[in-house]
Structure 1
Amino acid sequence: MSARFQLVIDCADPAKQTAFWSAALGYVPEPAPAGHATWKAYYRSLGVPDDELEQMGDDDADSIVDPDGAGPRIWFQPVPETKIVKNRLHLDIRIADRTAALQTRREQIDAEVERLTGLGASVVRVLAEPGMDHYGVTLHDPEGNEFCVA
């Protein structure tokens, strides 16, 4: 039997990351558990101290889910330290039709990169080599986490 998992991304601003990644992936903010008006109310019921909950900011959204239930839950865990080095794990957003011609894939990827930069991402580098049938772009999310679009 396979294991279920969630992806956890350390961050400074869960609300900002939740908004960006919801739009980037077509996910939705996860509603608070039944019986709790907000995630902060849920966390308080578990005994999480208020000083830790302050890291969530005014908007208590800190997780997103695939509305179709196919992808993993993503939780944006507030941490006090900033990101310093390259991620050891990153997301690849598969946008292009792998069976399409390279130029078509490039256009699909470039359109998605433009959309994502409009949401707050920044381009790090283009992954393309002459003679190679591959095209992709590495970006940073609003907090500097690397991800790729291919």
Structure 2
Amino acid sequence: MATRIDLTLDCADARPLAAFWKTALGYVDEPPPAPFATREEWAAHFDPPEDDPDAADPAGGGAWLCDPDGVGPRLSILRVPEPKRAKNRLHMDIRVPGHGGPAERWERIGAESRRLVAAGGRVVTEFEGHHVVMADPEGNEFCVAAAPA
């Protein structure tokens, strides 16, 4: 049996980044772990360090997302104090359907890229006919490409 993975994105502001990734991936807010009714209730049961600037925000500036079908990895988005400084060493690829000819696949990649720009992302580089490198609202890189046919 394969090991399941979760992905974690560090950020400066979790709420808008979570909104972007929910739009990009079709994910939803993950319910809090049992027996807690809310994420805030769950986070409040931890004893934050006295010098923690997020202590007033019981969720610590985080967001937890999941695939509503339970297929994709969970995504945690956590506020950190330091800014992003360099290119990601690991990134996500968002895959559009790979059927059809090259022009049809490229049109689907373009349509998805435009949808994600409207959601707050930006195009970094286009590799015409193959994939588009994009960045989310905080500059985390990801690609939009066609799935294998």
Q: Could you say whether these structures have the same fold, taking a TM-score greater than 0.5 normalized by the shorter chain as the test?
A: yes
SS at match of 2:133: strand
For 1:23 and 1:91, locate their aligned partners in 2 and report how far apart those are by CA, in whole Å.
Answer: 14
Q: Look up the match of 1:95.
A: 96
Partners of 1:140 and 1:54 lie apart in 2 by 30
Q: Distance in 1 between matches of 2:48 and 2:76?
A: 16
User: Pairwise mapping of residues 132-143 of structure 1 onto structure 2 (< 5 A)?
Assistant: 134-143=129-138
The percentage of counterpart residues that share the same residue type is 44
- Asked if 2 retains the 8 angstrom alpha-carbon contact of 1:28 and 1:66, the reply is yes
CA contact (8 A) 2:62 2:78 kept: no
- Pick from 138, 141, 146 the counterpart of residue 141 of structure 2: 146
Deviation of 1:46 after TM superposition, in Å, equals 2.5
Q: Across the two proteins, how many residue pairs are aligned to each other?
A: 143
Structure 1 stretches lacking a partner, 5+ long: 129-133
Kindly state the Cα deviation for residue 137 of structure 1 after the two structures are TM-superposed.
0.5
| Alpha-carbon distance change, 8 to 136 in structure 1, aligned in 2, over 3 angstroms | same
Name the CA distance, whole Å, in 2 between partners of 1:56 and 1:13: 14
Q: What is the distance in 2 between the residues matched to 1:95 and 1:40?
A: 35
Which runs of no fewer than 5 residues in structure 2 stay unpaired? none
Matched with 1:78 is: 79
Q: CA deviation at 1:55?
A: 6.2
> Partner residue of 1:131?
none
CA distance in 2, matches of 1:74, 1:146: 15
Q: Give the secondary-structure state (helix, strand or coil) at the position aligned to 2:124.
A: strand
Opposite residue 53 of structure 2, the aligned amino acid is D
- Mapped contact 2:62–2:79 kept (Cα < 8 A): no
Give the deviation of 1:39 after TM superposition.
Answer: 1.4
Alignment of 1:119 onto 2:119? yes
TM-score (norm 2): 0.86
* Distance of 2:92 and 2:11 partners within structure 1: 15
Please provide the CA RMSD for this pair.
2.1
TM-score normalised by structure 1 residue count: 0.86
The answer as to whether partners of 2:124 and 2:135 remain within 8 angstroms in 1 is yes
Which structure has more helix as a fraction of its residues? Answer: 1
Letter in 1 for 2:63: D
Note the alpha carbon deviations across 1:87-128, whole angstroms, 9 max, x for none.
Answer: 00000001131x421110111111111110000000001013
Stretch deviating more after TM superposition (73-82 or 33-42) = 33-42
Q: Is the 8 A contact 1:15 1:57 kept in 2?
A: no
Counterpart of 1:31?
31
1:30–1:61: 8 Å Cα contact kept in structure 2? no
